[in-house]
Amino acid sequence: MTDTNGLSENAQATVRDAGEKISDKVREVGDKASETFRKANDKVNQVAKDGLKTVGQFAQTAQKYVEESGLAGADVREIVKREPWIALGIAFAAGYVAAQIMRRRPE
């Protein structure tokens, strides 16, 4: 009978050790995954901030151009109503320029 008790205790200790090792491994993998997600989130946030900064600079440059060229007094709504294709072309060109600026930014 003592052998059975000893075997039972050894089996329990082995299972306990295996459970602790698995728990440690799961915790380690979870920590690594958490760190990876945090780094990815930080990088996405930085790219978004840089993109917003670039868009802001582009908007300031465009506003300055409009003010200096005398187009500031133009009724944009009326122009869009009369010439929607011109407005679409300008919107496409502005989007294309913004995309090129964003694409060429260093990572």
Domain that holds residue 13: 2-74
CA 25 to chain centre: 29
Q: Is the pLDDT of residue 16 over 60?
A: yes
Q: Is 38 among the domain residues?
A: yes
Query: pLDDT digits over 24-79, tens only?
Result: 888 898 888 888 988 888 888 888 888 888 878 877 887 788 777 776 677 778 87
If one compares 81 and 105, the residue with the highest pLDDT of the two is 81
d(CA 105, CA 11): 60
39 found inside a domain:
yes
pLDDT band at 19 (very low <50, low <70, confident <90, very high): confident
* Residue 82 counted as domain residue: no
Domain count across the chain: 1
Prediction pTM value: 0.44
The answer to the question of residue 95 being in a domain is no
**Residue 57's CB: how many other CB atoms inside 10 A?**
11
The answer to the question of residue 98 being in a domain is no
Q: List all residues 6 or more positions away from 66 whose beta carbon is below 8 Å from its beta carbon.
A: 72
Predicted pLDDT of residue 73: 72
Residue 79 inside a domain? The answer is: no
Q: Judge whether 41 lies within some domain.
A: yes
